[in-house]
Amino acid sequence: MAVLQRAAAVFCLSFLLSALPGCAPSAPPPPLDTLVVALESSPLRLDPRVGTDQSSWRVHDVIYNGLLKRAQGGEFLPDLAESCTTDDARSWRVVLRDGIRFHDGRPLTTEDVAYTFRSLLDPGFVSSKREPLRIIERIEVVSPRELIFHLSAPYSSFPLQLILGIVPKGMTSAQADAHPVGTGPYKLVELRPDDRFVFERWDGYFGAKAQHRRLVYRIVPDGTTRSLELLRGSLHLCINNIAPDLLPLLARNPHLAVSILPGATYAYLAFNMRDPVLGKKEVRRALALALDRDALAKGLWRDTVVKTETLLPPGHWARAADLPPLTRDLAEARRLLDAAGFPDPGGGRPRLVLTYKTSTDESSVLQATAIAAQWKEVGVEARIRSNDFSVFYADVVKGAFQLFSLRWQGIVDPDHYHEVFLSSSVPPKGWNRGFFSDPEVDRWIEEGRTVLPREQRIPLYRNIQQRVLEELPYVSLYTHNLVAVHLRDLTHVDAIPQSGDFTFLPEVGRR
């Protein structure tokens, strides 16, 4: 079905692009002072202390600021903070910029910062973001502009926690979801779940003012619809949500452009390590060796992705450069399945049957379909179960899966391993959704947190990457490039950070 839908989309767009001007569906274009950006699904939580899905992050990016912000290559830059310093990785002193105000006019002080982090640490506050903050022993408010985070142990990756969006003192999670108030370049003025989120420029913003007066996030789950709306001008910008084989067709339109930039979004397959079948290392390795990632990269993704063996993006200071690539080996995959107790039963019957969960996103379903076809060559039948993202994601969080595919967006620090592979970081304490457990990986992760000099941390993270590649709680697929399809007259689209954050949107203007 997904293949037929993709073929229909290509045919439809080809027809529109070859027709006379004006044959594309018409609609009143948005005002020139409005930027309309597509999201595949509705944000689940607007509270930055809680939201973990990609669409929620897109909202957080324009409403809130953290003390620090992501930069290229795993670095961090000041945001709300004027400075952030430490001598021992245990006491972190933060000084705020002067004169920052929230959207409701209240001045930002260190009391708001302390409240944001203390509220997350409250035992009654439910969030997977709480666990890495438990290392905070106390927060000392020195003055309205200065505070010190005192940690129970050295934590060299603590700056990663300081990108959390800051909310006003006293704001509950329910209030933040209903009427979010931040310090960012845009403020939310209209919320229609599953339709659109409308933002207005916050003229009291401490940084450069947004180029567009209004920003609209349109919720458009269907990829074909996104493409058609780009053609008619009712969408201005789509990032990483247009089918790759439609890109050449859209690039032919004189009003559109396609920009491809280096990215840090990591695509992977995750296994449930408690599953009696997938808990066997031989099965996981057989599935990995049955994959033809080169064929997926070329045929499905049209070379908009880069094959990877690790979740850390190219150019990252902690990325291991010498990991042996997993190359396709069908004979070895079959041998491993035999060894795991799943011999070929003959008669065209499968050795084993697995349930593969994914969202209803067209590219995700196509990827699952292609992977299932490759696994069939070694006698493994993958039954694809696709659901709306909220339903699919709920199953992932509670561990109700055998295997699933997802992406991690914008990985900037190797302490990400603490959240996804530390044995104690299972939900709701973290994102170890497949229940991976390895005492040595735990030790390396914890040691990597306590060592401050990078030259001492790099070998630890290399060990982690090597062991994960051996044990395969994830199968690394590829790192996605950033692919933006946009109106040709938009400027600064090339300012998209490698992490894929939407923090660049205020810079986007018009020629």
DSSP annotation of 237: E
Per cent of the chain over pLDDT 70 is 94
Supply the angle between the helices 362-376 and 2-18 in degrees, to the nearest 10. Answer: 130
Q: State the Cα–Cα distance between residues 334 and 312, nearest whole angstrom.
A: 30
Cβ atoms of 92 and 84 within 8 Å: the answer is: yes
Q: At residue 338, does pLDDT exceed 70?
A: yes
Q: State the Cα–Cα distance between residues 137 and 92, nearest whole angstrom.
A: 12
Q: State the Cα–Cα distance between residues 384 and 330, nearest whole angstrom.
A: 22
* Residue range 239-258: mean pLDDT, rounded: 93
CA nearest neighbour of 169 among 112, 217, 216, 102: 112
Cβ atoms of 120 and 139 within 8 Å: the answer is: no
pLDDT digits (tens, 9 = 90+) for 298-317: 999 998 999 999 999 988 99
Q: State the Cα–Cα distance between residues 383 and 353, nearest whole angstrom.
A: 7
Whether this prediction's pTM lies above 0.75 is answered by yes
Q: What is the pLDDT of residue 12?
A: 52
Q: What is the pLDDT of residue 346?
A: 94
Going from the C-alpha of 327 to that of each of 85, 160, 287, 289, 475, the distances in angstroms are: 44, 33, 11, 6, 12
Q: At residue 33, does pLDDT exceed 80?
A: yes
- Give the model's confidence band at 11: pLDDT under 50 very low, under 70 low, under 90 confident, else very high: low
Q: What is the pLDDT of residue 14?
A: 56
Q: At residue 150, does pLDDT exceed 70?
A: yes
> Are β-strands 81-85 and 91-96 bridged in parallel, bridged antiparallel, or unpaired?
antiparallel
Classify each residue of 186-201 as buried b or exposed e, where b means 16 or more C-beta atoms within 10 Å of its C-beta: bbbeebeeeebbbbbb
Three-class DSSP category at 361: coil
Q: What is the pLDDT of residue 20?
A: 36
Ordered structural domains, the chain, with CATH: 2-45+180-261+482-510 (3.40.190.10), 54-172 (3.90.76.10), 263-480 (3.10.105.10)
Going from the C-alpha of 92 to that of each of 64, 119, 136, 446, the distances in angstroms are: 22, 19, 10, 19
* Residue range 162-173: mean pLDDT, rounded: 97
User: What does the mean pLDDT of the chain come to?
Assistant: 92
- Give the model's confidence band at 6: pLDDT under 50 very low, under 70 low, under 90 confident, else very high: low
Q: At residue 23, does pLDDT exceed 80?
A: no
Q: Which residues contact 1 (CB under 8 A, 6 or more apart)?
A: none
Q: What angle do CA 244, 250, 253 make, to 5 degrees?
A: 165
Q: What is the pLDDT of residue 26?
A: 46
Q: What is the pLDDT of residue 430?
A: 86
Q: State the Cα–Cα distance between residues 485 and 243, nearest whole angstrom.
A: 11
pLDDT digits (tens, 9 = 90+) for 78-115: 999 999 999 999 999 999 999 999 999 999 999 999 99
Q: At residue 16, does pLDDT exceed 60?
A: no
Q: What is the pLDDT of residue 361?
A: 84
Considering only residues 24 and 210, tell me which one the structure prediction assigns the higher pLDDT: 210
pLDDT digits (tens, 9 = 90+) for 412-455: 889 999 989 999 999 888 899 999 999 999 999 999 988 888 99
Tokens 């080169």: give the residue: 294
How many DSSP H helices and E strands does the chain contain? 15, 19
Cβ atoms of 222 and 364 within 8 Å: the answer is: no
